[in-house]
């Protein structure tokens, strides 16, 4: 079976990926126009920078006449100032209001009328807007997207309406879910000074006070071409994208007031932190732990690669160390897991979760978690399991090339988080080159109790039992970028 899978993998790797990247046309863009595709690259990627500082990335895939346009602003909730938590997400909503040429709601109606879809999302490190349309509609999308980069028109009625919308969204996503409220508290305990400790959607009392002035101040500072990345993926030619980008985005002047991204950083964490969150609605108690961990850095992704594989080994599947030890051998847990995603501008976290079996206390579950970690540090990595995980990751990366929007997101999120195209393209091979020794070194550095936060989610004492959940709680996919479950890494998509 393994030999067959390897044969399939070799065949898939041999398949061509779209047409070769065309040589970018010369024009008004700066001298940074380059073709980053090489004989080893898995995607045909061309990049250049407009004279106003806007980065442009073109990913060719000519298998279907479809294109995805994404504009990523290097401004997320971690770039907000004190007292206005949630303003980045609030502004994301407001950008669907009118401009001088588009009535409120007309943007999305136009996309739909042309057979496309559009949406937006906010995370700690960026805010993104995208459209997926037929390739011959790209110019229209650029015209509308560049328009709202500078010509947004808002009034007090818009503010009142959308403020109610985001408050109701918080009710649905956070207030009605004890696990989400618990994760907010975990994030606040982990990050004492950094903005990653604030929920992306915002603290409710600050959301209620968000004003027109708050939204416009964030907009005018951050929504400028020298703070944006344009990613176009699909059935396009780089020189055609460049010409359109220069026409629509290149005409917008850079914002000279935009400085470097400076954020308050965490002080050294010197004490283990522990919290208990009780809620009468909790039906399934569990214990969760997070450790401060390094993120992927430009030109230095080795630690992040080791932590990515460590998460898979410890708690990435039913064959992982935690699942085997806690769910099958001792049956002390009904679910266990580990997660890490290093695509983050600043330090992220590595997370663990154990959902205990009935009659197993949270204290026992925490002790079991510690025991499994200690045993892993003693016994080390199972080389056969590591080989299987690497092969699964390679296969997943190959299949991901079939999703043009996913490719655009992968490059956009990385670039908005401080990485380069070269880092994105080097990542798959770096995972394959990471050794068991690298993983164990990363694990020993990671599992420092003084850098951890452990939390118990439990029902309130004496509360009537809540209805049993259909399945054990699991951390949501931390795909966005910070490596934290759900709304610690929260990517709020509309």
CA angle 189, 192, 198 (to 5 degrees): 75
Phi then psi dihedrals of residue 348, to 5 deg? -105, -160
Name which of 431, 257, 260, 255 is nearest 342 in CA terms: 431
Examine residue 6 and state whether it is found in any structural domain, yes or no.
no
Domain of residue 150: give its range.
27-248
For residue 286, what pLDDT is reported?
98
Q: How far apart are the first and last CA of the chain?
A: 42
Same domain, 241 and 299: no
* CATH code where residue 82 lies: 3.30.830.10
**Residues in the chain, overall count:** 494
For residue 461, what pLDDT is reported?
83
For residue 43, what pLDDT is reported?
85
Same domain, 186 and 328: no
Examine residue 363 and state whether it is found in any structural domain, yes or no.
yes
Same domain, 51 and 114: yes
For residue 1, what pLDDT is reported?
43
For residue 463, what pLDDT is reported?
67
> Does residue 92 have an active-site annotation?
yes
Name which of 341, 338, 363, 339 is nearest 286 in CA terms: 363
Q: Is 0.75 surpassed by the pTM of this model? A: yes
Give the DSSP letter of residue 325: I
Examine residue 3 and state whether it is found in any structural domain, yes or no.
no
Our separate counts of H helices and E strands in the chain read: 16, 13
Q: Structurally, how many domains does the chain consist of? A: 2
Long-range contacts of 312-321 (CB under 8 A, 24+ apart): 312/338, 312/389, 312/393, 313/381, 313/382, 313/385, 313/386, 313/389, 313/439, 314/338, 314/352, 314/372, 314/373, 314/376, 315/339, 315/352, 315/353, 316/389, 319/385, 319/388, 321/372, 321/376
pLDDT digits (tens, 9 = 90+) for 374-412: 999 999 999 999 999 999 999 999 999 999 999 999 999
Examine residue 152 and state whether it is found in any structural domain, yes or no.
yes
Same domain, 47 and 156: yes
C-alpha to C-alpha distance for 401 and 38, rounded to whole angstroms: 16
Phi then psi dihedrals of residue 59, to 5 deg? -115, 115
Same domain, 192 and 230: yes
Helix (H) or strand (E) run with residue 212 in it: helix 212-222
Same domain, 67 and 213: yes
Examine residue 302 and state whether it is found in any structural domain, yes or no.
yes
The answer to whether 232 and 412 have CB atoms below 8 angstroms apart is no
Same domain, 385 and 430: yes
Same domain, 288 and 427: yes
Same domain, 236 and 326: no
Examine residue 466 and state whether it is found in any structural domain, yes or no.
yes
CA atoms within 13 A on the CB side of 463: 13
Same domain, 230 and 360: no
Q: Which of 92, 145, 184, 491 is catalytic?
A: 92
Examine residue 267 and state whether it is found in any structural domain, yes or no.
no
- Alpha helix locations (H) across 341-492? 362-379, 383-400, 404-416, 421-433, 436-446
Examine residue 186 and state whether it is found in any structural domain, yes or no.
yes
C-alpha to C-alpha distance for 286 and 424, rounded to whole angstroms: 35
Query: Which residues of the chain are under the pLDDT cut of 70?
Result: 1-42, 463-494
Same domain, 394 and 475: yes
C-alpha to C-alpha distance for 182 and 184, rounded to whole angstroms: 5
pLDDT digits (tens, 9 = 90+) for 307-356: 999 999 999 999 999 999 999 999 999 999 999 999 999 999 999 999 99
Q: Is 114 exposed, middle or buried (0-12, 13-18, 19+ CB in 10 A)?
A: middle
């Amino acid at each position: 079976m393994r030999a067959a899978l390897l044969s399939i993998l070799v065949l898939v790797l041999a398949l061509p990926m779209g047409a070769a990247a065309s040589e970018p046309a010369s024009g008004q863009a700066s001298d940074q126009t380059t073709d980053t595709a090489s004989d080893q690259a898995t995607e045909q990627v061309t990049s250049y920078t407009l004279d106003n500082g806007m980065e442009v990335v073109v990913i060719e895939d000519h298998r279907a006449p479809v294109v995805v346009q994404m504009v990523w602003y290097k401004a997320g909730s971690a770039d907000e100032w004190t007292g206005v938590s949630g303003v980045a997400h609030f502004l994301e909503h407001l950008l669907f209001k009118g401009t001088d040429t588009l009535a409120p709601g007309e943007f999305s109606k136009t996309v739909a009328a042309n057979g496309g879809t559009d949406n937006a999302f906010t995370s700690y490190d960026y805010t993104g807007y995208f459209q997926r349309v037929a390739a011959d509609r790209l110019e229209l999308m650029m015209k509308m997207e560049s328009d709202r980069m500078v010509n947004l028109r808002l009034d007090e009625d818009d503010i009142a309406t959308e403020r109610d919308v985001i408050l109701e969204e918080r009710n649905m996503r956070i207030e009605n879910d004890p696990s989400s409220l618990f994760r907010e508290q975990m994030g606040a305990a982990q990050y004492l000074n950094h903005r990653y400790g604030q929920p992306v959607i915002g603290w409710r009392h600050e959301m209620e006070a968000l004003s027109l002035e708050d939204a416009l101040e964030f907009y005018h500072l951050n929504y400028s071409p020298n703070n944006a990345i344009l990613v176009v993926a699909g059935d396009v030619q780089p020189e055609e994208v460049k010409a359109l980008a220069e026409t629509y985005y290149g005409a917008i002047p850079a914002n000279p007031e935009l400085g470097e991204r400076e954020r308050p950083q965490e002080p050294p964490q010197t004490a283990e932190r522990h919290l208990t969150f009780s809620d009468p609605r909790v039906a399934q108690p569990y214990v969760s732990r997070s450790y401060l961990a390094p993120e992927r850095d430009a030109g230095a992704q080795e630690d992040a690669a080791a932590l990515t594989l460590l998460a898979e080994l410890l708690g990435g599947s039913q064959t992982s160390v935690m699942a085997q030890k806690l769910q099958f051998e001792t049956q002390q847990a009904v679910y266990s897991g580990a997660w890490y995603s290093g695509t983050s501008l600043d330090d992220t976290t590595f997370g663990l979760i154990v959902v205990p079996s009935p009659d197993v206390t949270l204290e026992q579950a925490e002790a079991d978690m510690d025991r499994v970690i200690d045993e892993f540090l003693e016994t080390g990595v199972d080389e056969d399991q590591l080989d299987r995980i690497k092969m699964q990751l390679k296969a997943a990366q190959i299949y991901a090339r079939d999703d043009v929007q996913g490719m655009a997101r992968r490059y956009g999120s990385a670039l908005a988080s401080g990485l380069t195209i070269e880092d994105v393209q080097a990542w798959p091979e770096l995972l394959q080159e990471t050794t068991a020794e690298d993983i164990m070194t990363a694990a020993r550095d990671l599992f420092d109790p003084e850098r951890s936060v452990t939390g118990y989610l439990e029902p309130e004492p004496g509360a009537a039992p809540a209805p049993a959940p259909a399945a054990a709680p699991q951390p949501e996919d931390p795909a966005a970028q910070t490596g934290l479950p759900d709304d610690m890494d929260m990517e709020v998509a509309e």
